[in-house]
Structure formats: C-alpha cells, structure tokens
Structure 1
C-alpha cells in the first residue's frame, strides 16, 4: 500500500510506515498497542526446528514469531492516518522487505539494548535505500538503560537520525514514536526537494 490521498479534492492523507528491528524487539507489540483497528498479525509458534536459527539470547520467554507482517492503523490527526506494517525480524523472511517497503514514507527501527547488534541489518537496509527512519529504543523491564547519544554512537548513526526512548506496550509512547518519525521524514523530504533530489 503506497502513501495515497483518498481524494484529490480533500486534505485527508494516509501514509505507510514500516516498523522494523531485530527478532523479539517488540514490533508486534508496538503495532498492536497503537492500532485503532484489530491488528492483523501473522505470528506463529516457535518450534524446535527453528531453535538453531532463531537466537533467543535475552528473549528466552518469547514463544511466537512474525512470519509475514503485522498490520495496524492509527489516526494522528483528523486528516492524517498511518498504516503500519511490521516486518518479520528473521533473516529468512527478508525477501518480503522490498515488497513491504514500496511506497513507505519512513520506518521505525525498534532497538533492544540487550541485543543492539540486531538493529544493524534494518539500519543498513533503510540507509541503502534512502528511506528515512528513526531508532526507537524499547525500554524492556530489567534491561540496562542507555542515553540516546550512547545508542546513536553504538549504532554509528548519521547525526540527523533521531533516537527516542519508548515502551512499545503503551499506546501514548508508541504514538509519540510515530509522530517523531513523521516529523523526521517531513524534514528529509523538504531537504531533498530543496536540493533538487528525489521525493520520498
């Protein structure tokens, strides 16, 4: 689903947002907590056959995994809605990412400080394709806390890429993350227009 206007004569705008990140970072939780509709989820039970592939270090209690995508919708303003597409976290499902990324305004990369290295594939993906993104650090109970600056340095982010803290379980926190992304993507879009580059 591309970012589209429902009718050229009105001001309503629907934007496509990706929610990405490593295995167990909280993508399904974020989409589910902010969605105004019953979210579509394609979670399946983890199996013994997948144990050698799906590392559970730091997320030993996880019993399910997304095998296709999560989908939800949230209205930011009366004239702006976001369609959320949560990506699968495991490498073997990455063939779906190009399809999901078509027409996306930008992406949220969820980070778990217990497994921060799991963010790198998603960050590389969006940087390579010049898709605006922010990093949202999901503050898990019991995890060591770090500053936004420390996380940005550890991930070697561009100085213009925002890092925000969040709790994916809480709707208000998730909504603030999405607003931060829309604002960042808007700035990137304006900068590209000013420079005569391609539109998002």
Structure 2
C-alpha cells in the first residue's frame, strides 16, 4: 500500500474542528452552570427552614410552660388574674407587657416577660448551638382574646405569642401560639 493511504487515516482533527468543539463545549457548560448554580444556592433553604422550625419550637416550648401572667397565682391556680372572682388580681396592663423590673431570660416567670426578646446567635464553634449560627429570633406577646392575630390592646383571656426566626440567608419564618388564662 502506498504511504499516502496511511496518512489519510492518521491525520486527526484540524484546527477548525477543534475550535468548533471548544465552542460547543463552552456553550453546553454555560447552559449547565446557569441551571445548576442557582439550584445549589437554594439547596440549603430546606436545611435552614428545618433549623428555624426547631429553634422556634424550642422557644415556644420554653414560653408555654410559664404562667399566664405575673399576677396569676402560681401555687395552686386558685386565683386567676382578671377572672372576676373575689380577691382575684387584675392582669398586667397591655402597655406593661415585658420583663418585670430587672428580670432576665433566666428568671422569666410568665409568658409576657418574653415580649420584645431578641436572640442573635453568632456562634463560637464550641457547642451544638452553633448549628444555629447566623439565626436570629424575635418574640412578641400581646393580648388577643378573639384569636385573630391582631393586638386587642386590652386585657383578655388569651395571649398571642409570636416567634419570628430569621435564617442566615435572610428568610423570615413566623410561628405563633396562644396561651390562655387557666
């Protein structure tokens, strides 16, 4: 066989074919990155939402075990504030909800002490609470006797407890519960 016959089979790609191949590869990579990269950012959202739910539920559990009001009888529950019973004290006024005097979270004893509480976790890398690094939490408590989520601005038989958790990516998730005077 002539030598020219072997050269035609072993010649490979020419420059134009290489350039077209690189352009096709670049175009396909551009399409892939515009579809995948935004999805990777959103893939953390469910993890943040689960952690926000855990954090809010923990705070709501802490609040719900407290007494309805500072003026309620904590020993046997005989005298409920605002119940109208003889010797029953008045409940805390709506504009006085919040910590009583110099109380701090460690010694809060009633639901409305949490009103206005803000917790921001910056984390130190030392313990499990660092799962919540970058999360912030705000609590609001107000009277809402008709349970419509709107402040009645009057003493009532139910208090709305709202917990807002902001995730590290800036999403705010709100949770709510009610505590009744019983």
TM-score, L = length of structure 1: 0.22
Which structure shows the bigger proportion of residues in strand conformation? 1
